[in-house]
Amino acid sequence: MPQVLQSAAERAVRYLEKLPARRVGPSEEAVRALAAFEESFPEGPSAPEEVIAMLDDAGSPATMGMAGPRFFGWVIGGTLPAALAAHWLAAAWDQNAGLFIASPIAATLEEVSQRWLLDALGLPAGCGAAFVTGATVANFTALAAARHAVLERVGWDVESRGLFGAPEIQVVAGEEAHPSLVKSLGMLGMGRDRVIRVPTDSQGRMRAELLPELRSPGIVCLQAGNVNTGAFDPAREIIPRARAMSAWVHVDGAFGLWAAASPRYRYLVEGFAGADSWATDAHKWLNVPYDSGLAFVRSPDHLHSAMSLSAAYLPQGEHREPSQYVPELSRRARGVEIWAAMKSLGRSGLAELVDRCCRCARRFADGLSAMGFEVLNDVLLNQVLVSFGAPEVTERVIAGIQEDGTCWCGGTVWQGRHAMRISVSSWATTEADIDRSLEAILRVARAAGAKRAPSPNARQ
């Protein structure tokens, strides 16, 4: 046992050390070499060291450099050293985090993290919390609590009776709501296509004046941080109106909610704390390993009603029982890494992490504008959308930068315009990484024949 762990740790450290100098995307050759894994189920055992050696030798080269400093593909962050080390230790513990009696340490670190998270994110101290796999399931979990509460108000117990014959819930979301939020609504039987979509503005923000009249039961879903532009729905205007119509307000703040942790960017989330529930990710901006998402619900009872389960063989004590607040029963102890990340950063470190990502995004935008390329969004947070001219030219630049390997950026279509999408969300990214990436983008853009169009942003 110890030898294989030692060797895995050494290999992991070597991998991480080499990562900043390696190409970010895997080479075609490395992807082709994955053929080594295409064998049929082995008839007999292999030595654990051999298993790990194969994983590292053939597997590591075919990874995407997401843990490194110049991966800007999606808003997904890296992993802080303390969070990764805690993840290793917690894996050795192999705790089932379902009940306090099963794992006092897992339950305790969830409780502590819950308090710290609510504090850092500026949410009400008494909220209930669910430690789930990601924002998709966090949306699902929070919206299950919403479904419970709005139907309870009209005298319907949805957990026991289901939705058959239930009063119809009106659900509202912006045109730019994340597809995973709409999927969550579908999984809850509220229908992906039944959602009333509110038109959005040039940044993807819901237009508050177009919020429809709602009758009870109703749910209004806001977004804190659009996945393309980083923009926030106008919570201060919408939440009081939704409340006046007795609607539940849910916030999808997968990464944007973390702006609250920075005194400089906190203004962006003003008003969002007035909602009833929130979904966010820890594996994005908090930089902990996958899978780690969080749902918060103003009234813990609503979350508990939607998620609780009882069985004679599952004793429940005085403590908060983690499994009473999440879809899963057995699961790993996600609170461990969240605690480790927050303990290692502290309030100032977390604010600095958010600030640095935003500052780096600004540096990207300014650099691209100065080169004469058009930045399509207002860069207020960590997201940058840039066009290199005609759609096919922008697509060539995106393919070119992925092939070049200095950094990795993906593409999107924003309001009909093809764009390269740059997300800065890793603790490992520095200003020097932005400058290196800008040089590479300029080189690739020239080779792709991109014209340096004078852009409005460049003139500002």
Ligand X SMILES: *Cc1c(COP(=O)(O)O)cnc(C)c1O
- The answer to whether 281 contacts ligand X (rule: CB under 6 A) is yes
Stretches 141-149, 186-194, 250-258, 331-339: which one binds ligand X (CB under 6 A)?
250-258
With 0-12 CB in 10 A as exposed, 13-18 as middle and 19+ as buried, what is 410?
Answer: middle
Q: Which of 23, 147, 148, 178 binds ligand X (CB under 6 A)?
A: 178
Closest-by-Cβ residue to ligand X is 134
- The one segment of 10-18, 82-90, 133-141, 404-412 that binds ligand X by CB under 6 A: 133-141
Q: What are phi and psi of 217, to 5 degrees?
A: -80, 140
Least separation in angstroms between residue 75's CB and ligand X is: 5
Q: Name which of residues 283 to 302 contact ligand X (CB under 6 A).
A: 293
Among 25, 26, 225, 289, which residue sits at the site for ligand X (rule: CB under 6 A)?
A: 225
Instruction: Please give the full DSSP string across 258-288, using - where no structure is assigned.
Output: GGGG-TTTGGGGTTGGGSSEEEEESSSTT--
180 near ligand X, judged by CB under 6 A:
yes
Q: Closest distance between ligand X and the C-beta of residue 183, in Å?
A: 9
Q: Closer to ligand X by CB, 75 or 450: give it.
A: 75
Which one among 145, 238, 254, 379 touches ligand X, defined by CB under 6 A?
254
What span, in angstroms and rounded, lies between the C-alpha atoms of 388 and 443?
13
For the stretch 263-267, contacts whose Cβ atoms lie closer than 8 Å and that sit 24 or more positions apart, written own/partner, are 263/351, 264/351, 264/355, 264/358, 265/354, 265/355, 265/358, 265/381, 266/122
Distance CA 248, CA 433 (A): 43
Near ligand X in 55-94, by CB under 6 A:
75
Please, which residue, 134 or 322, has the CB nearer to ligand X? 134
Task: Work out the number of other CB atoms within 10 angstroms of the CB of residue 329.
Answer: 15
Task: Return the closest-CA partner of residue 251 out of 228, 280, 227, 229.
Answer: 280
DSSP state of 373: P
Report the residue from 136, 200, 229, 423 that binds ligand X according to the rule CB under 6 A.
Answer: 136
The yes or no reply on residue 134 touching ligand X (CB under 6 A) is: yes
Q: In terms of CB distance, is 254 or 375 closer to ligand X?
A: 254
State residue 250 phi and psi, 5-degree precision: -115, 145
Q: Which is nearer to ligand X, 25 or 293 (CB)?
A: 293
Question: Where along the sequence are the contacts to ligand X (CB under 6 A)?
Answer: 75, 134-136, 178, 180, 223, 225, 227, 252, 254-255, 281, 293
